[in-house]
Structure 1
Amino acid sequence: MHIGLVGLGKMGGNMRERMRRADLTVTGYDRNPDVSDVDSLSALVEALPSPKVVWVMVPAGDATRSTVEELAELLGEGDVVVDGGNSRWTDDLANAELLARKKIGYVDCGVSGGVWGLENGYALMYGGDAADVEKVQPAFDALKPHETDEGQFGAVHAGKVGAGHFSKMVHNGIEYAMMQAYAEGWELLEKVDLVDNVTEVFRSWRQGTVIRSWLLDLLVEALDAEPGLEGIRGYAEDSGEGRWTVEAGIEHAVATPAITAALYARFVSRQDDSPAMKAVAAMRNQFGGHAMQTVPPKGGDVEAGESGQGRPEEAGAARQAGVGTESEPSES
């Protein structure tokens, strides 16, 4: 097979190498001339035999959309475009419709594997017409994992156009929730003065437990490299799929509380001093006299709870005396 590949970044570059190791001919194009095999998208298309297959690995959104539009003018009947980026599945429907006017096929492919995919293979979820998928199959076979159960897992024709990226979207939503659960468990184990070596506890879970996973393996590797995760800021971006999963759940009336909570936790991580938590602290102080932490003024310290409502011990004394209080709130 001779395939064209657009976008040779961390993922695309490794995918080109993995396909070449499987004896596929790959012509790659990237705006970076240091890694590109040709100097233009048109030159890439010209280098391919018919039916031409062009795999796109560029950022989702405008970059993918403009690339597909350009390919619509360069390719012809019977050719196929594969979008292997993290596009939203609704974009696939528009891209497929655009290409169909020129009788060009379209396959959307969710790709998981990250920087480890070159050696371990990539999990592939693809959607599209069976005839179009068949034209891309040698590339799928080269990219998917080979060493597990004779390669029977790791790749799936998920359904019609959009099914691949929708499946990858849900995959990433699940990933959000799993990472958040591991992270919360790690924080709790570190917090208590009881467990001597949290990293070793996590390492023990890598065999024989129901929560073992590749994510757990990666967390242990991170803890080995940076004990206690010192020097790592508690800030996490979201790439889009988590939001889209939550939105899809709302649209289809499917509750996704774990995924939603994990997404919101990432939002909170980006705030050095969460305004929302300030409001929560203020309300807890108002209804229950709970202590608040305030920023010390210049030249001196302020005791926790000194908030204009009296110190916490004063509020506690008032409650005990029954002065100015309602029934004890259940929130603590």
Structure 2
Amino acid sequence: MPQANIGLIGLAVMGQNLVLNMERNGYTVAVYNRTTSTMEKFVAEHPGKKLVPATTLEELVQSLERPRKILIMVKAGPAVDAVIQGLVPLLEPGDLIMDGGNSFYRDTERRSKELAAQNLNFMGVGISGGEEGALWGPSIMPGGPRETWEMVRDLLEAIAAKAPEDGKPCVAYLGPRGAGHYVKMVHNGIEYGDMQLIAEAYDILQRALGLEAAELAEIFDQWNQGELDSFLIEITAKIFRRIDEETGRPLVDLVLDKAAQKGTGKWTSQDAFDIGAPIPTINSAVVARIISSLKEERVAASKVLPGPAQTRYEGDKQALIDAVRQALYASKISAYAQGMALLRMASAEYDYGLNLAEIAAIWRAGCIIRARFLNRITQAFNRKPDLANLLLDEELGKAVAESLPAWRHVVQTAVGLGIPVPAFSASLAYYDSYRSERLPANLIQAQRDFFGAHTYERVDREGIFHSNWEPA
């Protein structure tokens, strides 16, 4: 039996496509799936490929060159632990297990410590790009011991997407333990925000202007030629063009308005609350998906809760379309600023040593949030690696400032027409809060001291104070 360079466990579509990607790039891959027939069917469908079938974990381990490298592609959670438990007795010190699923970073932290205690290497490897990315080049976010990165660096660089600007692989060593899965989690949180912002732009154009899907497709195509150029804008235009064969209607109009989620956006919000990082756009996107799931309640509420009398925009149509484009771009910058600031704070909190310029660079291709303006984010952090917030970058700050009148106009217009824009509003409120020298938190502190003697600080002297707030 030939010795394989790497083993892969879990032959769902993502796993299969990663195998084909690795094999196409010159690697011999041993493959195993808990349901043997799935593995046998996959191997049979790809004759002549450098694949080594394994019907048991023992066979898989025996087929690998030393030190062994195994990539797990199974559902996050207990399934990952079960596979690891099955592998550990079969491996030798120095072998490497990689988890390529969407695992919670704290599970990755735990597994890293447990396997290190047994002299085994472990990496949490975030992979973004969906099925196409897995096959032709995803963005890859590995975390673990630096020496294990060197064990698989050539392989990961070979299969990763290549940035169109400079051809660099969209993969980099991110940091120890759970760093890779943490970055992937935040990537997905930003993705939630990005998708919600695009959905709100669509909702405004549809409800305020009465635009049909064909018109929306043209608009999003045009937007994709400029600063909004991105994978999500590109596929949105394609979605608007898809016609349902049975009804002849745009398929998007027939999709039920209940958005699902797998948990990574929620994890991002939860961890941001834990470490004290404000990410209101991402939070609003998570909440928006939850509200969307209350379809039956919303239908009932729509019959009894009044909205504004005016629901259509009566101003210049093209001017509002242009304003929505500018508001979307500014909101996206705000959302990415929040996500990158979260990464900066988490890096300090968890001792990850994250390089924000590098992270933005490996998101330029392959991943779901790939976009032209990630180059501007990379440049911003290259200019100033300790940049506290992207809004403070001269170039990005200027872009936001130029969009401010349109941004405010869009939010005001949507609110006036009764169109919910939680992510647009949250993005703008974050900007206004961040630029405010003084916020009304002084009143909150006074209230806390009044009812709970929680004390407060003063602007005119040092120290901690408590007052009797009742009238003398």
TM range (shorter): 0.7 to 0.9
Counterpart in the other structure of 2:29:
26
1:130-169 alignment runs, 5 A limit:
130-146=146-162, 148-169=164-185
Deviation (angstroms), 1:138: 2.7
Counterpart in the other structure of 2:59:
43
User: More displaced, 103-112 or 119-128?
Assistant: 119-128
How high is the TM-score relative to the length of structure 2?
Answer: 0.57
SS at match of 2:172: strand
The separation in 1 between residues aligned to 2:163 and 2:179, in whole angstroms, is: 26
Relative to structure 1, the CA distance from residue 119 to residue 49 in structure 2 (aligned partners, 3 Å threshold; closer, same or farther) is closer
Relative to structure 1, the CA distance from residue 176 to residue 9 in structure 2 (aligned partners, 3 Å threshold; closer, same or farther) is same
SS at match of 1:158: coil
The separation in 2 between residues aligned to 1:248 and 1:207, in whole angstroms, is: 35
Q: Which amino acid is the alignment partner of residue 64 of structure 1?
A: V
Assess if the C-alpha contact under 8 Å between 1:72 and 1:98 holds in 2.
Answer: no
- The C-alpha deviation readout for 1:148-179, integer Å capped at 9, x for no partner, is 24532411211111000000000000000000
User: More displaced, 266-275 or 199-208?
Assistant: 266-275
Assess if the C-alpha contact under 8 Å between 1:173 and 1:242 holds in 2.
Answer: yes
Counterpart in the other structure of 2:234:
217
Assess if the C-alpha contact under 8 Å between 2:7 and 2:31 holds in 1.
Answer: yes
SS at match of 2:67: coil
1:14-93 alignment runs, 5 A limit:
14-36=17-39, 37-93=53-109
The separation in 2 between residues aligned to 1:119 and 1:129, in whole angstroms, is: 26
SS at match of 2:173: strand
Assess if the C-alpha contact under 8 Å between 1:205 and 1:212 holds in 2.
Answer: yes
Deviation (angstroms), 1:102: 1.9
Judging by fraction of residues, say which structure has more helix: 2
1:229 equivalenced with 2:252 (yes/no): yes
Relative to structure 1, the CA distance from residue 229 to residue 281 in structure 2 (aligned partners, 3 Å threshold; closer, same or farther) is closer
Relative to structure 1, the CA distance from residue 103 to residue 245 in structure 2 (aligned partners, 3 Å threshold; closer, same or farther) is same
Assess if the C-alpha contact under 8 Å between 1:144 and 1:151 holds in 2.
Answer: no
Relative to structure 1, the CA distance from residue 228 to residue 56 in structure 2 (aligned partners, 3 Å threshold; closer, same or farther) is closer
Relative to structure 1, the CA distance from residue 150 to residue 38 in structure 2 (aligned partners, 3 Å threshold; closer, same or farther) is farther
1:320-331 alignment runs, 5 A limit:
none
Counterpart in the other structure of 1:178:
194
- RMSD value over aligned CA atoms? 2.5
How high is the TM-score relative to the length of structure 1?
Answer: 0.80
Q: Which runs of 5+ in 2 are unaligned?
A: 40-52, 244-249, 310-417, 419-472
Counterpart in the other structure of 2:225:
207
- Higher RCO, Cα 8 Å, sep 6+: 2
Q: Which runs of 5+ in 1 are unaligned?
A: 292-331
Q: What percent identity do the matched residue pairs reach?
A: 31
The separation in 1 between residues aligned to 2:165 and 2:31, in whole angstroms, is: 31
Relative to structure 1, the CA distance from residue 149 to residue 290 in structure 2 (aligned partners, 3 Å threshold; closer, same or farther) is closer
SS at match of 1:155: coil
Kindly report structure 1 stretches of 4+ aligned residues shifted beyond 6 Å: none
The separation in 2 between residues aligned to 1:290 and 1:236, in whole angstroms, is: 26
Relative to structure 1, the CA distance from residue 212 to residue 277 in structure 2 (aligned partners, 3 Å threshold; closer, same or farther) is farther
Q: 2:10 aligns with which of 7, 10, 26?
A: 7
How many residue pairs get aligned? The number is: 287
Q: 1:189 aligns with which of 205, 210, 213?
A: 205
- The C-alpha deviation readout for 1:271-323, integer Å capped at 9, x for no partner, is 22237984x997x78xxx999xxxxxxxxxxxxxxxxxxxxxxxxxxxxxxxx
SS at match of 1:82: strand
Assess if the C-alpha contact under 8 Å between 2:157 and 2:170 holds in 1.
Answer: no
Counterpart in the other structure of 1:272:
295
Q: Which amino acid is the alignment partner of residue 223 of structure 2?
A: W
SS at match of 2:122: strand
Assess if the C-alpha contact under 8 Å between 2:157 and 2:169 holds in 1.
Answer: no
